[in-house]
């Protein structure tokens, strides 16, 4: 130890400086009150007490008796049960809020989340706050209906409010997760089947089609948006790609399908007619999918009516869809057949 007066180095256990005689005291670290409380708690827990049910010796901090397995610390048991119920209740509300947000994006995920919240609510009432009954506790055995009534009793339980970081995580994370689920639903349920159609034949090379839900969040309405056409695409190729898409989705149920070109809706078809179109194309009923096909669609906006001729109506359909007269004329001159 170094003397603070003359800076002479002394032994570690020296009580006075050997040069100037200054009394030396060791620096004692401050003692926290929490350490005192912890030591008192440890000492009280190490003390042995007598079990009130079997008379055995147990530690004072014990929750259950090691001899008869009875709960000897009922306040701690109730506090732990209430804390567990509060967490389950909080998790159920998070599941409900997430389910309501997911319903706007992807209905199955929203229903599954709400069902999870319902199960958590049932678990909330199934967790008992009172210790279980036993003959040693001097309580009478109750019947099933009384036990069920006690379990379903509406009890006031203190719910801990999460801190600000937790609130941000719930109220900001829930919409983000719902948006991610909705985007994934658009990709895997609509866009991937469309991409599979475009990869089937070299005749579709250069064609770009965006298939998604209306506004990307309405699962009952599908938007078939023709974004780009290659220089080799003919109207029969465009028509075939749409029929292949209808064939892939004929097992799904939608209320409406919008046919668009570069973001502008040109025609609409109801879900039942769209499924019928896919079924007829799967049966290779070309007379229906080529000539009676335009009758199923309703034009959007100020578009001229179709020609009475079925063949001319189909030509006009493609002309009004993506508005290229040269492609429409080539459609009327080429052979309408599939391999």
Domain ranges of the chain: 201-333
Least confident of 121-135, 166-180, 193-207: 166-180
Per-residue three-class SS string for 20-49: CCCECCCCCCCCCHHHHHHHHHHHHHHCEE
pLDDT of residue 161: 47
Question: Which residues, at least 6 apart from 280, have a Cβ–Cβ distance to it below 8 Å?
Answer: 288, 289
High-pLDDT (> 70) share of the chain, %: 69
Both tokens of 315, joined, read 């030509």
Q: How far apart are CA 134 and CA 147, in angstroms?
A: 14
Q: Is the pLDDT of residue 27 over 50?
A: no
The pLDDT of residue 155 is above 80:
no
Half-sphere exposure of 68 (CA within 13 A, CB side): 16
Rounded Cα–Cα distance for residues 69 and 65 (Å): 5
Helices and strands in the chain, H and E counts: 11, 7
- This prediction has a pTM of 0.52
3-state SS assignment for residue 299: strand
* pLDDT tens-digit readout, 166-184: 555 556 566 667 777 778 8
Cβ atoms of residues 258 and 224 within 8 Å: yes
Angle between helices 74-103 and 107-126 (to 10 degrees): 160
Specify the pLDDT at position 332.
45
Output the six-digit token pair for 316. 């006009």
Give the separation between CA 217 and CA 215, rounded to whole angstroms: 5
Q: What is the dihedral of CA 106, 107, 113, 116, to 10 degrees?
A: -150
* pLDDT, tens digit, 9 for 90 and up, residues 211-260: 999 888 788 899 999 999 888 788 889 999 999 999 999 998 899 999 99
Take residue 157 and report the two structure tokens written for it: 């339980």
Q: CB count, 10 Å around CB of 308?
A: 7
Residue 283 banded pLDDT, cuts 50, 70, 90 = very high
Cα gap 81→88, rounded to integer Å = 11
> Would you list the DSSP string of 131-176?
PPP-GGGT-PPP-HHHHHHHHT-------PPP-HHHHHHHHHHHHH
Distance from chain centroid for Cα 166: 17
Q: Give the separation between CA 274 and CA 251, rounded to whole angstroms.
A: 10
Query: Is residue 225 within a helix (H) or strand (E), and if so which, with residue range?
Result: strand 218-228
The region of weakest confidence among 51-55, 155-159, 167-171 is: 155-159
Supply the mean pLDDT for the chain.
76
């Amino acid at each position: 130890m170094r003397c603070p007066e003359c800076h002479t180095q002394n032994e570690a256990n020296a009580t006075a400086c050997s040069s100037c005689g200054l009394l030396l005291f060791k620096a004692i670290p401050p003692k926290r009150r929490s350490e005192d409380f912890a030591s008192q708690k440890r000492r009280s827990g190490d003390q042995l007490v007598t079990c009130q049910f079997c008379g055995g010796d147990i530690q004072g901090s014990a929750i259950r008796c090691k001899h008869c397995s009875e709960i000897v610390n009922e306040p701690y048991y109730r506090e732990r049960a209430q804390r567990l119920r509060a967490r389950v209740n909080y998790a159920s509300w998070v599941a409900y809020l997430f389910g309501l947000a997911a319903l706007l994006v992807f209905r199955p995920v929203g229903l599954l989340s709400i069902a999870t919240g319902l199960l958590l609510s049932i678990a909330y009432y199934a967790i008992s706050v009172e210790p279980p009954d036993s003959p040693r506790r001097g309580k009478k055995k109750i019947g099933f209906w009384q036990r069920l009534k006690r379990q379903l009793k509406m009890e006031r339980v203190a719910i801990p409010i999460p801190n600000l970081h937790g609130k941000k995580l719930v109220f900001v994370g829930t919409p983000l997760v719902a948006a991610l689920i909705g985007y994934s639903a658009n990709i895997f349920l609509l866009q991937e089947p469309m991409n599979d159609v475009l990869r089937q034949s070299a005749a579709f090379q250069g064609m770009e089609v965006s298939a998604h839900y209306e506004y990307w969040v309405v699962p009952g309405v599908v938007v078939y948006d023709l974004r780009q056409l290659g220089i080799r695409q003919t109207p029969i190729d465009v028509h075939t790609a749409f029929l292949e898409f209808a064939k892939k989705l004929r097992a799904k149920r939608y209320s409406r399908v919008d046919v668009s070109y570069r973001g502008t809706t040109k025609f609409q078809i109801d879900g039942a007619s769209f499924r019928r179109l896919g079924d007829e194309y799967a049966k290779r009923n070309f007379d229906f999918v080529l000539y009676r096909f335009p009758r199923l669609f309703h034009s959007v906006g100020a578009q001229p009516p179709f020609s009475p001729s079925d063949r001319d109506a189909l030509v006009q359909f493609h002309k009004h869809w993506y508005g290229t007269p040269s492609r429409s004329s080539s459609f009327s001159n080429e052979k309408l057949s599939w391999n």
